[in-house]
A and B are shown apart, each in its own frame.
Chain A
Amino acid sequence: MSERILDELILALRRVKTRKLRVLLTVLGIAIGIAAVLGTVSLGEGIRTQAVETIRASSDLTLLEVTPREVNGTVYLITPSSVEYIRTLPHVTVVSPVLRDSYASRYQTYLPVIGAGPDEISSLLNLRLETGRTYSAGSPEAVLGADIGEYLRRYEGMQIGSPFAVMVREYDEQGRPRDREITITPVGILSSRDDRFDAVIFLDTSMVRSQKPGQDGFDAVYLRVDDHLSVPDVADGVRQLGFSVGGAFEQIEAVNRFMDVIILVFALFAGVSLLVGGLMIANTMMISVYEQTREIGISMALGAAEGDVMRLVLFECLFLGILGGCAGIIGSLIFSTVLNAVGRSLLLSRLGGEFSGLFGDSISLITPGMLAVGLVIAVFLSLVSGIYPAYRAARLDPVEAMKR
């Protein structure tokens, strides 16, 4: 049996060899399709990689923020036992449960507040003081973000080390706002870090909790993951506890989702040329079967089964597919090389130098896996295109076929 299939492969190969020009044209058809698809996908993958690298370089990927999930309008806060559980997740190094609140200054400046243990939060957020010292646990001391600290000092007369009055907004039974004044002591101002913590006032957990009577849980938990590659796993682990999780990694996920769609759409357009390649194979094979009608009839009279005839046609397609796939791979490698050599400098000259970081050293990325997929697609497409011609060949009436 395998002997016979090997012989049929050889026969099909001979047939391919005797029709070089037609094979060349058909193979070019598939090759262009494969090269177009691989080219667009490699361009998309290149842009994706650059975008992800850019985000990775400019943001704190291993910091995650766990927040409660809202179920039917009710927010279930994060309980201390959940915090302990999060602490035990693999790859989690530092965990800091926080309380969030917002106060106002006497001049009605909005003051977002984070209540956290001083040591945990400084090591987790890598807080650096510009002036003063950090706050101590159990005290009404505060450390201010760079922007808010500068603002309050300049415009509202705040002084480091002196008590500063802030208003806690509450609501009475009728829903009317009612401000209650408390006093905090600013003891330090942080260096600027160009993120949202620049506008935040850090207080001790106990201080913030004392202003929120009747609340046991935490509003959020910040955590640090040891390696950015483990971030998605940790995020999934936290999500399974029923919490939401956020962080810069979401930007990467968003870029990936966006690029998935873009690449898919581009590849679909390029896939049209693949479809044309498939139709060319079908056409070539229909002609091939038509030309061989007599030989097929003779073969059947000599004992070829329908399966033998189908295999002869499909094996011819197989060779067309392999040749087309290989040529397409070579084409896409050339496309990618040209794009990286010429396209990059062209794009940069159009966009200006500030985008040079965006395109590292290559804008088109081809992986061995993509090439393998390209070859598989070419072979699969060729075989599918050959099914109908093969079926037609197998169903020929040998007597009629031999009269040709």
Chain B
Amino acid sequence: MTPLLEVDGVSKIYPNGVKALDGVTIAMERGEFVSILGKSGSGKSTLLHILGGLDRPDSGTVYLNGMPIDFANRNDLIQHRRKRVGFIFQQFNLIPSFTALENVEYPLIFHGVPKRERRERAAHLLDQIGLSQRIRHYPAELSGGEQQRVAIARALVAEPLIVLADEPTGNLDSATSSEIVSLMREINRDRAVSFFVVTHDRDLAAQANRSCEIVDGRLNP
């Protein structure tokens, strides 16, 4: 059976000559929780952006479910972002003018899902994540941990093949961080959702099935 994700010799050089990624190769199976540990500037965010179709590699190939991502095809990248991956960010990246519920249902607008169904799916997810009391609140009225939970629900709402998390605990205190990590692990276990997490948080990396370290764009298994 083909692995869920296969990264084959991906390199990225910035216009200023800095090698962000240097021949990164890694594979992960369905249901795995993989973490990539790296300092800031190690290229870990760039790798995540490439996997999520937000950035393009200069060379190398990324396979998802055995299918290569066509980085030259804008449409393919949009479909990739829309249907196959879900994002979690360090800054939460919720839309401030939307309530928690609206933030979670937002990606489904681009799928053309009718409003009633969007609401039901988003409310159901928020309920499962323990935020049913907060669905009418705006991001500014939520704590950091609550905002990240909303963001996690948003990443799951379109039922992606893989969730890509970029420093999900980077803006949280240690108590909240471990809550968020446990939540992600729980989802990984109970809902069989695959997680690919890049972080500099060793505690988070320790919770993963598998952890690699990235240094100056090179991946050390």
The answer for the CA separation of A294 and B93 in the assembled complex, in Å, is 8
With known contacts A4-B109, A399-B49, A402-B93, A301–B114 Cβ distance under 8 A: no
Report the minimal beta-carbon distance from B162 to chain A, rounded to whole angstroms: 14
The residue of chain B having its C-beta at the shortest distance from the C-beta of A294 within the complex is: B93
Instruction: Of the listed stretches A117-125, A243-251, A303-311, A338-346, name the one at the interface; the rest are far from the partner chain.
Output: A303-311
Verify if A65 is at the interface (C-beta below 8 Å from B). no
Per-residue interface assignment for chain A, residues 290 to 331, with 1 indicating a CB less than 8 Å from any chain B CB and 0 otherwise: 000011001111111110100000000000000000000000
Verify if A392 is at the interface (C-beta below 8 Å from B). no
Verify if B71 is at the interface (C-beta below 8 Å from A). no
Verify if A398 is at the interface (C-beta below 8 Å from B). yes
Report the minimal beta-carbon distance from A28 to chain B, rounded to whole angstroms: 24
B89 touches A303 (CB 8 A): no
The residue of chain A having its C-beta at the shortest distance from the C-beta of B113 within the complex is: A3
Verify if A57 is at the interface (C-beta below 8 Å from B). no
The answer for the CA separation of A333 and B93 in the assembled complex, in Å, is 47
Interface residues on A, range: 20 to 34
Verify if A351 is at the interface (C-beta below 8 Å from B). no
Residues in A neighbouring B202, C-beta threshold 8 A: none
Per-residue interface assignment for chain B, residues 139 to 178, with 1 indicating a CB less than 8 Å from any chain A CB and 0 otherwise: 0000000000000001000100000000000000000000
Verify if B54 is at the interface (C-beta below 8 Å from A). yes
A398 touches B54 (CB 8 A): yes
Q: In residues 54-90 of chain B, which contact A (Cβ within 8 Å)? A: 54-55, 74-75, 78, 81-83, 87, 89
**Pick from B49, B78, B89, B113: contact of A305, CB under 8 Å:** B78
Report the minimal beta-carbon distance from B144 to chain A, rounded to whole angstroms: 17
Verify if B111 is at the interface (C-beta below 8 Å from A). yes
Verify if B112 is at the interface (C-beta below 8 Å from A). yes
Residues in A neighbouring B110, C-beta threshold 8 A: 4, 299, 302-305, 308
The residue of chain A having its C-beta at the shortest distance from the C-beta of B109 within the complex is: A7
The residue of chain A having its C-beta at the shortest distance from the C-beta of B114 within the complex is: A3
B111 touches A302 (CB 8 A): no
A303 touches B54 (CB 8 A): no
Most buried by A among B89, B91, B106, B109: B109
The answer for the CA separation of A294 and B55 in the assembled complex, in Å, is 16
A301 touches B109 (CB 8 A): no
With known contacts A399-B49, A402-B89, A402-B93, A301–B54 Cβ distance under 8 A: yes
Verify if B52 is at the interface (C-beta below 8 Å from A). yes
Per-residue interface assignment for chain B, residues 110 to 123, with 1 indicating a CB less than 8 Å from any chain A CB and 0 otherwise: 11111100000000
The residue of chain A having its C-beta at the shortest distance from the C-beta of B105 within the complex is: A7
Report the minimal beta-carbon distance from B164 to chain A, rounded to whole angstroms: 10
The answer for the CA separation of A399 and B87 in the assembled complex, in Å, is 12
The answer for the CA separation of A3 and B117 in the assembled complex, in Å, is 12
Verify if A22 is at the interface (C-beta below 8 Å from B). no
The residue of chain A having its C-beta at the shortest distance from the C-beta of B84 within the complex is: A303
Most buried by A among B54, B74, B97, B154: B54
The answer for the CA separation of A14 and B102 in the assembled complex, in Å, is 13
The answer for the CA separation of A268 and B188 in the assembled complex, in Å, is 66
A302 touches B52 (CB 8 A): no
In order of increasing CB-CB distance, the 6 nearest A-B pairs are A303-B82, A302-B107, A4-B112, A303-B110, A7-B109, A305-B78
12 new A-B pairs (CB below 8 Å) besides A299-B95, A303-B78, A303-B83? A3-B114, A4-B111, A8-B109, A11-B109, A294-B93, A301-B52, A303-B107, A303-B110, A305-B78, A306-B74, A399-B49, A402-B89
Sample (21) of A-B pairs whose CB atoms are under 8 Å apart: A3-B114, A4-B110, A8-B109, A300-B81, A301-B93, A302-B82, A302-B87, A302-B107, A302-B154, A303-B81, A303-B82, A303-B83, A303-B107, A303-B110, A303-B158, A305-B75, A305-B82, A306-B78, A308-B110, A402-B91, A402-B93
